[in-house]
Structure 1
Amino acid sequence: MTDRIDYGNLMHSAMRELIRKVLTGVAERGLPGDHHFFITFDTTHPEAGLADWLRDRYPQEMTVVIQHWFDNLDVGADAFSVTLNFGDRAEPLFIPFDAIRTFVDPSVEFGLRFETQETDEDEEEDDIDATSDRSPPPAAGHGEAEVVSLDKFRK
């Protein structure tokens, strides 16, 4: 038994459970109103599943939008899967909840960010990554998935 309560991990667990419940509701009933989600996840996570061409294009992280068109949303205890359209190409994704870095619903100005505990060297590398240009692909039309940078939503 440890001599400390690990509030950080308890909070992350609660936040991931919230995301699981929200996605489960969407899988059962669809997206209500103007709700939509920007979900950024770690593409290097060993259990993340995405096409090789997407992993090559987004070797560290990827932000997907669940809004107009998505299919096969299936939510499990530890992960969810969804099929999104990338330039008229349907691609299945498998995203473990512990690979999620941010979850944002801009329609209600709600967002979660998962902080990681890293060494000083890792933090310096992340600072460099955060400022690099991760330009999204050309603007997706209605009915296509869009990969976006959350920098435009930060104040």
Structure 2
Amino acid sequence: MAQDPPAQDLMHYEALAQDALRGVVKAALKRAAAPEGLPGAHHFYITFKTDAEGVSGPNDLLGKYPDEMTIVLQHQYWDLAPGETFFSVTLQFGGQPKRLSVPYAAVTRFYDPSVQFLLQFEPPPAAPTDARPVAAAPAEVTDEPPSTDGEAKIVSLDQFRKK
């Protein structure tokens, strides 16, 4: 008796599940953007593909991280604006405030270490270089490392990865 070939997933359930879980990221950011801010000890490490379509920010900052970047939303972030398809936030890098806009589709990792909550996503395809929006005015490039005095930190999440 011949066996039927496996059915093809025409519903694209994996993509639907990824989108639904990105909704958790959006909901968490909406809570963080509320006047009360982040409750308790909650804070977020958000990793995103800097070369994904729709990511925008200062050329100097995105140039330092041409593939992937992790931002921390904890004490000092401003103007967090979670929209329907992307979020924007102002963070300090090297003592300078810089605005980033990140589509939820560009997020590859969302981690709240206060409760050990982790979501990982499939990386999006890279946007063509000429299609990437960037900030209108280039920010000043400095060689000084960012201060750890309450400023945003870009961190490696290698310590959290399974080996």
When normalised by structure 1's length, the TM-score is 0.81
Match of 2:46 among 22, 39, 48: 39
CA separation of 1:3 and 1:9: change in aligned 2, threshold 3 A: closer
Distance 1:116 1:73, change over 3 A: closer
Q: Partner residue of 2:133?
A: none
**Which whole-Å deviations, capped at 9, do the CAs of 1:3-26 have from their partners, x for residues lacking one?**
633221111111111111110011
The runs of 5 or more residues in structure 1 that have no matched partner are 119-136
How far does residue 140 in structure 1 lie from its aligned partner after superposition?
3.7
Q: Which has the higher helix share?
A: 1
**Higher RCO, 1 vs 2 (CA within 8 Å, ≥6 residues apart):** 2
Code of the residue aligned with 1:103 in structure 2: it is: F
Aligned to 1:8: 14
Deviation at 1:138, TM superposition (A): 4.6
Residue 39 of structure 2 aligns with an amino acid whose one-letter code is: P
The question of 1:20 aligning with 2:31 is answered no
Q: Residues 95-131 of structure 1, C-alpha deviation per residue, up to 9 Å, x if partnerless?
A: 000000100001100011102488xxxxxxxxxxxxx
TM-score norm. by structure 2 comes to: 0.77
Task: Describe the SS at the equivalent of 2:29.
Answer: helix
Distance 1:13-1:3 versus aligned 2 partners, 3 A rule: closer
Structure 2: segments with no counterpart, 5+ residues: 1-7, 126-143
Q: What percentage of residue pairs aligned between the two structures are identical?
A: 43
Give me the CA root mean square deviation.
Answer: 1.9
Q: Which is higher, the Rg of structure 1 or of structure 2?
A: 2
